[in-house]
Amino acid sequence: MTLPQTPSFHLLGKKALVAGASSGIGLACAVALAEAGAAVTLAARSIGKLDDAVAQMRAAGMIADAIPLDVADTDATAAAVAAAGPFDIMVNSAGLARHGPAAETTADDFDAVQALNLKGAYFLTQAVAKGLIAAGKPGSLINITSQMAHVGGVDRAVYCATKFGVEGFTKAMAIEWGPLGIRVNTICPTFIRTALTESTFQNPERLKWIEEKIKLGRVGEVTDIMGPVVYLASDASALMTGSSLMIDGGWTAD
């Protein structure tokens, strides 16, 4: 009898692009992929923060570099990805939220959020896939969406709309590119403690709502995303595509 072997979680020899990598979830994903052996390109609008992160990662023995990238600028994004790729792995953590009552949403708010969260995510994913297709390579493309891509939330109608949209195109792209070995999935976190979410946690009403919804009784930390992103990027998830990996503490189990 021959025992089965666990597929490798290692990413040695793989080249990864992480958008929105200057802080928070994006930075955590970049570090996780680099720790697993990938050569990681960190991308964001704030090149200063990226340079600091790259310096610290290199000092820790990781392979990393940085490029400036505004995912909402789809033409510039396509050009940058074509020049720096092809990438075996993509993680898109770039995102924007303008929360407020649905009855008060302005067209400007709607356009700004969808330009980054939906349109930007779509064409970034497309750009990385084009590079893989041209090179005849398989790959793993991951968009960070949200539990709000599956449920509604007060003051989050626009945000939910964009994240639901990403879930939709993920399934369609997975169907189209599956025969080419290109997998497309999403990671859907609950509320994660970052600099951008601190104002939400400081609102007693919102914090009570969050704590009641998360069955494990705590908000998320960026480290909660690091294992899942390595899983989706690696051969350990080789049969997983068109799927949503819920990292929500049981929020959507209701």
Q: What is the pLDDT of residues 139-179, one digit of tens each?
A: 999 999 999 999 998 889 999 999 999 999 999 999 999 99
pLDDT at 250: 96
**For the chain, what is the domain count?**
1
Domain for residue 9, yes or no? Answer: no
* Helix-, strand-, coil-residue percentages of the chain, each rounded to 5: 50, 15, 35
Domain for residue 5, yes or no? Answer: no
pTM across the whole model: 0.95
Using DSSP, state whether 186 is helix, strand or coil.
strand
Domain for residue 69, yes or no? Answer: yes
Domain for residue 191, yes or no? Answer: yes
Domain for residue 32, yes or no? Answer: yes
159 is catalytic: yes
* 181-237 confidence digits (pLDDT tens): 999 999 999 999 887 777 778 888 888 888 889 999 889 999 999 999 999 999 999
Domain for residue 2, yes or no? Answer: no
Residues in the chain: 254
Average pLDDT over residues 119-130: 98
Task: Pick the catalytic residue from 87, 122, 123, 159.
Answer: 159
Domain for residue 87, yes or no? Answer: yes
CATH code for position 179: 3.40.50.720
Beta-carbon contacts of residue 155 (< 8 Å; ≥ 6 apart): 99, 100, 101, 102
Tokens standing for 137? 């390579």
Beta-carbon contacts of residue 170 (< 8 Å; ≥ 6 apart): 143, 184, 185, 186, 242, 244
Provide the residue range defining the domain that includes 97: 15-253
Strands (E), the chain: 15-19, 39-44, 64-68, 89-92, 139-144, 182-189, 244-247
